[in-house]
Amino acid sequence: MNAPADLPARLLQRHSGQTLSEQLAALFAERIGRRALAPGARLPSVRECARMHAVSPSTVVAAYDQLQAQGLAEAHRQRGFFVRAATPARSAAAPTTLAPRLAAPVDATALIRGMFQGQPGRQGPGLGTLPEPWLDAALVDRALRRVLAHSAASLRYGDPAGDPSLRQALSRRLQGDLGIAASPEAIVTTVGATHALDLIARTLLQPGDAVLVDEPGWAVEFARLTRMGMRLLPVPRGPAGPDLTVMRRLLAEHRPRMYTTVSVLHNPTGQSLSLATAHQILTLAEAHDLTIVEDDTYAWLAPQHLPRLSALDGLRRTVYVSGFSKILAPNWRVGYAAASPAMTERLIDTKLLTTLTSPAWAERAVAWCLDQGLMRRHADRVVQRLDAARQRVVRLAEDVGCQFATPPQGLFGWIETGVNTDRLASHLAEQGWLLAPGSLFHASPRASTLMRVNFASSQDPRFWQQFGAARKALLREG
């Protein structure tokens, strides 16, 4: 039996020692084991699954029966088949002849794991990094060679606050380009921006504290704060920033200690804070003794003139966070936080207790790139290339019937698909495409028809062809 012409081919191996139903059951068992299908998730209907894999409905029924026998699935009368809420441990020797497949993300951890499961030559449309060909390998090589030529410094601990040359370069960058009055003494370097956010939370918060977060927002930040025992208070994010009415109510009712936000090129919507909204946020922070953590991870991709809370506030109630993995190379885990002098000392204490110091050789290499103007020139090239990629992806997405929920800007597009994007991600994962469904960007995950795409890594027409076919199939299923 051939797959329908409007569906991506997902044929099982017909000349195998296993029956088709055994192979199909093994495929679902593998995905359940990887958390690609979460406990309680609904399996595709028998008819939908038969179409997806070009097999008969009886083959699907037999596969689902095997999953039930293994304790991995259960049938709900007149509703279908579901992943069991509590799945027993499976034998490591469970037979399967199917090649490993990319897992559709069901939470932040699964999305990150997907970053390391990509296929050579293909990028994940749902990932958060630039494609390798966009990065300047020669620049990285030059910086490393220059720093490692003076290798003696690598044989001892670096300054706990961070390499002085980098902190001086960052101070010039913040004051000269972004208007943030941060002296070198106000800056603490970290092992990437995520580490900076973690240091801040560990310094300011205790388990049970309430934290304001944008929604939609960054899945990893939600997961990290939740694991630390914090109570997340989602504030709806609009085109100009957070919903101030909701923010006022949450501040009055819950007295949160911290608000973590992305002011510029918000992830996942791509929107930036308006100047009027920024001033109102700072007024609320002053009235309610609130610390604002401003994550500017995508600063090198954004216009410098866009308002930053830290520039308006002078780092009194704000802590500014950024890094270089999004522009230089994902593996260059160099980040930093800029704060008031008192806060900086507290952050250094926390850094000493968690990582001691950060790698001085990497920090000196970044400092050299900044001082030579090489980082700026590289960023300018990336922004030009990203502008062209964004226009191309907008056309491709609209051609398959999608609309943008917010005006396309920056690295990410926030797309309305009209179908459940968890199911869509499951379809596309089997073809090697990692998507970021909208459910990942809510503090309490829920079904969504929205998804985030990376403009830089979503330009392959093959992806959109397979995306469009899978979307049509889901629309027919209702």
d(CA 78, CA 400): 32
- Residue with structure tokens 């088949």? 81
CATH assignment of 1-101, among 3.40.50.2300, 1.10.10.10, 1.10.3260.10, 1.20.210.10: 1.10.10.10
pLDDT the model gives residue 144:
87
Q: CATH 3.40.640.10 in the chain: give the residue spans.
A: 137-372
pLDDT the model gives residue 93:
38
Helix, strand or coil, per DSSP, at residue 83: strand
Is residue 290 within 8 Å of residue 258, measured between CB atoms? yes
Vertex 209, ends 161 and 325: CA angle to 5°? 40
Q: CATH 1.10.10.10 in the chain: give the residue spans.
A: 1-101
- Per residue of the chain (478 residues), give pLDDT as tens: 333 333 333 457 766 668 888 888 888 887 887 676 778 888 888 888 888 888 888 888 888 988 888 888 888 887 888 888 754 444 333 443 333 444 444 455 555 555 555 544 445 798 888 999 999 999 988 998 888 877 666 667 889 999 999 999 999 999 999 999 999 999 999 999 999 999 999 999 999 999 999 999 988 899 899 999 999 999 999 999 999 999 999 999 999 999 999 999 999 999 999 999 999 999 999 999 999 999 999 999 998 889 999 999 999 999 999 999 999 988 889 999 999 999 999 999 999 999 988 988 899 999 999 999 999 999 999 999 999 999 999 999 999 999 999 999 999 999 999 999 999 988 888 788 889 999 989 998 788 999 999 999 999 999 999 999 999 999 988 7
pLDDT the model gives residue 6:
38
CATH for 103-128+374-478 is 3.90.1150.10
pLDDT the model gives residue 65:
87
Q: CATH 3.90.1150.10 in the chain: give the residue spans.
A: 103-128+374-478
Alpha helices in 181-274 (DSSP H): 193-204, 219-227, 244-254
Distance from chain centroid for Cα 31: 21
Whole-Å CA distances, 146 to 361, 365, 367: 10, 8, 11
pLDDT the model gives residue 432:
81
Fold topology of 137-372: Aspartate Aminotransferase; domain 2 (3.40.640)
